[in-house]
Chains A and B, each alone.
Chain A
Amino acid sequence: MKIKDKVFSGMILSLLLMQSAWAAGTHYEMRVDGLACPFCAFGIEKKLKAIDGTSDIKVDLDKGLVSVNMADGKSLSEEQMKKLYNDSGFTFRSMKKSPN
């Protein structure tokens, strides 16, 4: 195997390892009432992004769902989310979590 191919294979392997490390953690899906327009969603995204360990934040206006991934060792609490959505002007209903 040429050196160039070895370097390339090493990079691919590193990326795969990084991805599996990134994928570890918890996926949260939250039911939020009051979400009805795109402009409303900005405050939620901004506040979730400010929490250490959050990634891949998605807001589904149609279904009233907000999903977010948390890094390994980090977590979200219902009380924390209740306050976050209240501060954003919405109503937190429920939260489901699953391994990422």
Chain B
Amino acid sequence: MAQSAPITFNTALPVASKEYLFREQLIVAQSGRDPATTDRDRTEVTSVSVLGYGVTGKLAVFSVVPYRNIDFDLTLGNQRINRNNTGFGDATLFGRYTLYQKDGLGSNFRVAPFLGIKLPTGDDDFRDSRGITPPPARIATGSTDLFAGVVATWQKLSYQIDAQLSYRKNNEGNGFEAGNVTRFDTSLQYRLWHSDFSKGIPDYLYGVLELNAVHKGKNRLFGVTNQNTGGTQLFITPGIQYVTKRWIAETAVQIPVSQNLNGTALETDYIFRASMRFNF
């Protein structure tokens, strides 16, 4: 791929042959609207490190390593209980191959399938001071999961559109199996400003608008399906992105516009993202 790329997904990140790309993204996911009576409140702060390498001009490989802090509160009886976990989550590896490429003057179009695996490399001890933590407070799943999808990019000098469709097959680890995930993401990056073209490679300022549709299946714990998990969420994600030839700074907020969740599954309030990217 050859573009500035969306904020909420990594599969469109551009990296040239024999070059590296590094992205560090801070994600704060807040969920506090509890349809049940336990007044659950969950805050997940994650620092995601993404390293990409261009094997060839068309094949790129990526590693994704998250470091998480999860703070989960709920009320049982009259007692407010806090569960907290911090540590490395599971690492993900994926490869992307540009299958179709059409370039024009100041424009390009790419279609690239990708295939990835999440490995049980994270801290899956699942314990805090109160003992074994419930699944919402765990920083890793301990499972080996596979995912695949396709990402497309259409870029002009003044704007860029990306779209990805992906499916993740989650497996069981330590008795827990998260529901499978299907997601469709689109991103429009519209150039609001650029520095002087005549002074070499200019800087761009993009206004970003993304849509994220996510469907999660129900979780299973020791073979028993949890009816109060999974469902479909739609987010609208406004953001901003400052692009230079060497680095990109970007931020966006995912705001839920529709949450059709199963049973008493906890709704998302917002997901905040801020990141920096470097070519080297």
Are A38 and B203 neighbours in the complex by a CB distance under 8 Å? yes
Are A38 and B57 neighbours in the complex by a CB distance under 8 Å? no
What's the Cα separation between A36 and B156 when bound, in Å?
A: 6
Are B201 and A59 neighbours in the complex by a CB distance under 8 Å? yes
Are A42 and B2 neighbours in the complex by a CB distance under 8 Å? no
Are B105 and A39 neighbours in the complex by a CB distance under 8 Å? no
Stretch at the interface among B167-175, B176-184, B239-247, B264-272: B239-247
Summed over the interface, the residue pairs from A and B with CB atoms below 8 Å come to a total of 106
On whether A34 and B245 interact (CB within 8 A), knowing A59-B201, A89-B14, A90-B103, the answer reads no
Chain A residues closer than 8 Å to B156, beta-carbon distance = 36
Are A45 and B107 neighbours in the complex by a CB distance under 8 Å? no
What's the Cα separation between A33 and B155 when bound, in Å?
A: 12
Chain A residues closer than 8 Å to B202, beta-carbon distance = 38, 61
Of A45, A60, A89, A90, the residue contacting B245 (CB under 8 A) is: A45
Chain A residues closer than 8 Å to B18, beta-carbon distance = 87
Are B16 and A41 neighbours in the complex by a CB distance under 8 Å? no
Are A37 and B17 neighbours in the complex by a CB distance under 8 Å? no
Chain A residues closer than 8 Å to B245, beta-carbon distance = 38-39, 41-42, 45
On whether A39 and B243 interact (CB within 8 A), knowing A60-B197, A62-B197, the answer reads yes
What's the Cα separation between A86 and B59 when bound, in Å?
A: 12
- 5 A-B pairs, CB-CB below 8 angstroms? A38-B203, A38-B245, A43-B54, A59-B201, A61-B201
